[in-house]
């Protein structure tokens, strides 16, 4: 797949920002974006880094909830 044909949605909560050429992380429950301490949107150069950040940022049901 060519770089400019990368789908806009890569997995649940991890999105490709074509303008910045970075992956962004969104909490799909609260609809807020992961931000850096200075308030800027968080950005990741690789999908695996973004996925790892999303796993911490997203709210997950625990067994028994």
Query: What's the mean pLDDT when you consider all of the chain?
Result: 78
Count the residues in the chain. 65
Parallel/antiparallel/unpaired status of strands 14-17 and 22-25: antiparallel
pTM score, whole prediction: 0.69
Give tens-digit pLDDT for 7-25: 454 456 888 898 899 999 9
Provide the pLDDT for residue 32: 85
Provide the pLDDT for residue 55: 83
Q: Choose among 34, 24, 22: nearest CA to 58.
A: 34
| Alpha helices for the chain (secondary structure H) | 47-57
Query: Residue 53 in contact with residue 25, Cβ under 8 Å?
Result: yes
């Amino acid at each position: 797949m060519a770089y400019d044909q990368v789908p806009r949605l890569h997995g649940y909560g991890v999105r490709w920002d074509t303008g910045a050429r970075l992956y962004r992380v969104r909490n799909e429950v609260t609809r807020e974006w992961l931000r850096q301490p200075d308030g800027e949107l968080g950005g990741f150069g690789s999908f695996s880094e973004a996925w790892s950040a999303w796993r911490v940022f997203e709210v997950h049901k625990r067994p028994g909830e």
